[in-house]
Structure 1
Amino acid sequence: MTSLPHFKRSGMFCASESEKNMDATRKAVAMVALAEYQALQNKYVLHLHNTEEELQEESTRRRRAVVSAVLLSRQQIILKSGMEWEIMLDMDDNTFASHFRIRRARFEQLLRLLQEGGLHTEHSHGLPPLPVPKKVLMFLWYMANQNSFREISDKFNASQSATHRAILQVLTIMSGIGTNFVSWPRGCEKRMSSAVFQRISGLDGVIGAIDGCHIRVQRPPIRGGDYINRKSYYSVLLQGIVNDEGRFIDIFAGPPGRVHDARMLRGSTFYTEWQEKMGDYRLLGDSAYIGQAFPFIVTPKRDNGALTDADHQQNYNISRGRVIVEQAFGRTKCKWRRLRDLQNTRMDIVVMIIMAACFLHNFALGAVNGCDEHPEGCPREEDGNE
């Protein structure tokens, strides 16, 4: 009998010490629990005066406020939102950009473009509808990361089928409105690019740089051997032409990885229109285009041991100018990391993802310039940007 009071006193003492030493995390958990309890209490106290819909809205508003406060108190930028995906829309601009790779203003602009293209809220089989902002956030998260559909559906509290359907819908719409993101420059834009390239490389009449880039994929079920490249992994090719800002002005995606860059160029839509598009201007290219009868591409001379000082200087100037296209490929893969390894086996979806990444690269250009992983600049060697 004498041990019981002692036990109570010990318990009180421990509880008091524990309360004094409670860390921020436990306080946050207690605050969330208290808020949920208060919301439950209000539901029964106020049910005579409010409709069920109003109570549900009030409960949702309380939970969002509590979760946002907890994240802010912890200075937490890692998203584990679950049902409360709306808190993503309440993030500060830097946190939002760190997760979705574009600023809030750009997100609102993209939202409007996709809605004009036909993106809308869907109701399916009695399940909760997916609002348009949620679809766009899911799509940006998908492009910016390498998460599976299961992980994305868990993060955004949606079924895997709904997640897949929403992302595919956005991809399809973006493919149809691509001219909003990638377009060939006009006369004044060409003159401005030419002036910048002249300062960079000392070469006149240059408005862009062209190159090919490998995008890693799984072995396709049909003619899979055609997709293995010279580095012995399966890939599809992306041909990009960029201006002086590193912005894509023409893209062509889909050829198998074993195809040579010169052959890809001949098969592209750009090649059928190059005279009309280029006029008297030129592009900078690497050694893959040497001797291929492309009069609109300035290429370096092969170093056969007999190059003059002028030849070496010319090669150096070309390299200085064309490095911008390699950097564009690198930045695209750094921001839109889905491109680092595409698990889709359907080539039509692969091509849509590649094009969407190029669209987003242009759309976000200048908004988030730095690369946390590669402060010295992109690309990474393992990304296969050559």
Structure 2
Amino acid sequence: MDESGCLLVQALVDSEGRFLDVSAGWPGGKKLGDILKKSKLFTGIEDSKYLNGQPFEQNNGNSIPQYILGNSDCPLLSWLLTSFSEKNGELSSIELAFNKVHSRAMDLVGTAFANVKKRWKVVWKKWNRQCVEAFPFVIVSCCLLHNFLIKCSEVMPDENAELRRNIELPEFDGEDDEGGKKTCDALASHLS
């Protein structure tokens, strides 16, 4: 835990809001890209244990490998697609369209966590220092129970409170992977 008392959680969420991978308990001061590189998800993908299915073949001949979406604080990789950045100038309409779809897809992660927050409010309150070491296990358990409740078609509690916070994340400032750039370009072109 850092001096702010924050612990971070990295998660991979599918289109139905289910958690496919959760890594919890990272110090609050860490960058998301650094957390990703130290996670089992990263190692599993890099070691070809995950995302080894057939690529999607577009009508125009482009081949899109399996991928996941990441925040702008993460590096663009051949399997990790981030939004287009304005660091190289103004974005084209194709890139803006891609960013819009990317943003809507990334909202699924926020919505999944908001739903976990609605069900288990105690998890999101300030924790007693003696209990903090249990935090990663409690968060992963809540995410697994969340998945179970989705499978059982359990209705979310009715609440009007907005639990999701929009946090501005800094953009990744390293070099982009050419394979990732090619895939983003092909998908952006396909979306337009």
TM-score (norm 1): 0.36
Question: d(CA) in 1 for partners of 2:17 and 2:137?
Answer: 21
The letter of the residue matching 2:141 is A
Pick aligned residue for 1:288 from 56, 73, 78: 73
State how far apart, in whole Å, the 2-side matches of 1:371 and 1:238 are: 25
C-alpha contact 1:379 1:385 (8 A) present in aligned 2 = no
**Shift in alpha-carbon separation, 1:303–1:293, aligned structure 2, 3 A:** closer
Spell out the pairing of 1:37-116 with structure 2 (5 A cutoff).
none
Higher helix share: 1
1:303 Cα shift? 2.4
Equivalent residue for 1:299?
82
- Residue 107 of structure 2: aligned partner: 323
The unaligned stretches of length 5 or more in structure 2 are: 53-64, 170-192
What letter corresponds to residue 362 of structure 1 in structure 2?
N
Deviation of the 1:295 alpha carbon: 2.0
Structure 1 residue 293, shift from structure 2 partner: 5.0
Distance in structure 2 (CA, Å) of the matches to 1:368 and 1:358: 16
Q: Deviations 1:223-258 (Å, cap 9, x if unpaired)?
A: x5xx14xxxx42111111011100001111111000
Q: Output the amino acid matched with 1:354.
A: I
Shift of 1:380: 2.8
Rounded to whole Å, the distance in 1 between the matches of 2:7 and 2:97 is 34
Structure (1 or 2) with the larger CA radius of gyration:
1
The answer to whether residue 119 in structure 2 is matched with residue 348 in structure 1 is no
CA distance in 2: counterparts of 1:371 and 1:259, whole angstroms: 34
Task: State whether residues 246 and 325 of structure 1, in contact with CA within 8 Å, keep that contact through their aligned partners in structure 2.
Answer: yes
1: distance between equivalents of 2:83 and 2:76?
A: 14
Work out the CA distance in 1 between the residues paired with 2:95 and 2:86.
9
**Matching of residues 132-281 of structure 1 within 5 Å:** 227-228=2-3, 233-274=4-45, 275-279=48-52, 280-281=65-66
TM-score, normalisation: structure 2? 0.70
**Paired residues of 2:8 and 2:24 also in contact (CA < 8 A):** yes
Counterpart secondary structure, 1:381: coil
Match of 2:142 among 354, 357, 361: 357
* Aligned residues of 1:285 and 1:298 also touching (Cα < 8 A): yes
Percent identical among aligned pairs is: 25
Name the counterpart of 1:337.
121
Residue number in structure 1 paired with 2:156: 369
Please give the secondary structure, in 2, of the residue aligned with 1:288.
coil
Q: Kindly tell me the number of residue pairs found equivalent between the two proteins.
A: 151
Which sections of structure 1, spanning at least 5 residues, go unmatched?
Answer: 1-223
For 1:240, what is the secondary structure of its paired residue? strand
